[in-house]
Amino acid sequence: MSTTDTGTKDGPFTWFHTLGRNGKRAFVGAFGGFGLDAYDYQVLPLGLFAITAYFGISNAQAGLLNTVTLVVSALGGAIAGVLADRVGRVRTLMITVITYAVFTVLCGFATSYETLLVFRALQGLGFGGEWAAGAILVAEYCKPRYRGRTVAFIQSSWAVGWGLSVVVYTLVFSFVPQDFAWRVLFWTGAIPAILVFYVRRNVKDAPRAEKSLHTSPRKGDFRAVFRGPLGRTTLFASLLATGVQGGYYTLAGWVPTFLRTERGLSVVGTGGYLALLISGAFAGYVTGGYLTDRLGRKRTFTLFAVLSAILIVLFTQIPSGANWLILLVTFPLGFTTSAIFSGFGSFLAELYPTDLRGTGQGFTYNFGRAVGALFPTLVGFLAAGMGVGGAMVFGAVAYGLAVVALLGLPETKGVELA
């Protein structure tokens, strides 16, 4: 262990102890919010093969269900970012959690493909906004030397929520008929609403953000993030988010279908592979946070973008009948494609001043979701001629875009929040 500037031992969880009482409560609220956000998002990819069969839709239409969620999430993220700067991080966090929980449940009552598409789009409003509010809330309680790893642990909750959704999926689809099981899976999306009671009673905005609500004349000014030097930052940060999320959502949206249809795995077999992928994801989120603080934000992004591009090609192009090779690649794939997200919360927070932090972070991250969402749709259209595995290779192209975007952004390791 190293020693901090204050003379205390710098252990693996020193970052948590430095948050203080209110910071720890904010961490719990944001961790739960993002984990359950992941849960509500993942129930669609997990039930997609059953939904496709139930409504008799094509792969392209199935891909559109994922895409519309992510596209609308850009609007939700932009709105939530502005709200976070205008009414506070905590209030915005509660609004977004309630929104995605309600519309996930309504998806289970859909009577047609079109109805499901509308409900899933509206779910995207909350899905897009939660991360922006939660990540900023915690980042503003962090000391600079620990910000990368602290916010990375928030990001790791995605793997926790994803893992929970796989457990529930495996149970539901093992005991409930397929044509009804997907509805039950959506109905379990009501769970996140419970978190709101904790957040309402225990979580507060950081003093810096609270002060900005009452003193800043430009708080939440959406146009301000496109002016002057901030305009260049917003452009390249949006491209970075597009590349990273384009690659990730290609995997998240199509891996369950790929394993079921092209690798011939059962529900339980698919769950086993996904468990390995998720284990790698959790390890990646945590490890990536420490590397972000040690190597810097840009070097860490570049390292994991290159590795993710290589592994997604390996994962999808392994010859038929060699599923054991896929098993070997699964953990590293989950590790690298998740570790690259670890730096987002700290990096984006450091690129914007307090009164525009929610607005800038909410827009750039969720713009990336919206444009990156075109990749799962592209896979759906190309799958008819190339197969799902062949089409998924285009996810590697997205990671190349992320590397290019980093050329236009500064290194922010260790900076104090403005």
Q: What is the pLDDT of residue 256?
A: 65
Number of Cα atoms under 13 Å in the Cβ half of residue 360? 30
Contact by Cβ (8 Å): 226, 78: no
Instruction: Give residue 6's pLDDT.
Output: 44
Question: Would you give the DSSP letter of residue 251?
Answer: H
CA dist 110 and 107 (Å) reads 5
Decide yes or no: CATH 1.20.1250.20 for domain 20-196+226-408: yes
Per the model's pLDDT, the better-predicted residue between 221 and 239 turns out to be: 239
Q: What is the pLDDT of residues 299-345, one digit of tens each?
A: 999 999 999 988 888 877 766 666 667 777 888 988 998 899 888 88
- Is the pLDDT at 157 greater than 80? The verdict is yes
Give the pLDDT confidence score for residue 273 in this predicted structure.
67
Q: Across residues 390-394, what is the average pLDDT?
A: 71
Residue ranges of the domains in the chain?
A: 20-196+226-408
H-run or E-run covering 227 = none
User: Which pLDDT belongs to residue 262?
Assistant: 62
Tokens, residue 382:
């190309």
Whether 103 and 374 have beta carbons less than 8 Å apart is answered as: no
CB count, 10 Å around CB of 205? 24
Q: What is the mean pLDDT of residues 180-184?
A: 95
**What is the rounded average pLDDT of the residues 87-100?**
90
Tell me: pLDDT of 248 over 50.
yes
Virtual CA dihedral for 30, 88, 189, 264, nearest 10 degrees? -60
pLDDT of 27 = 92
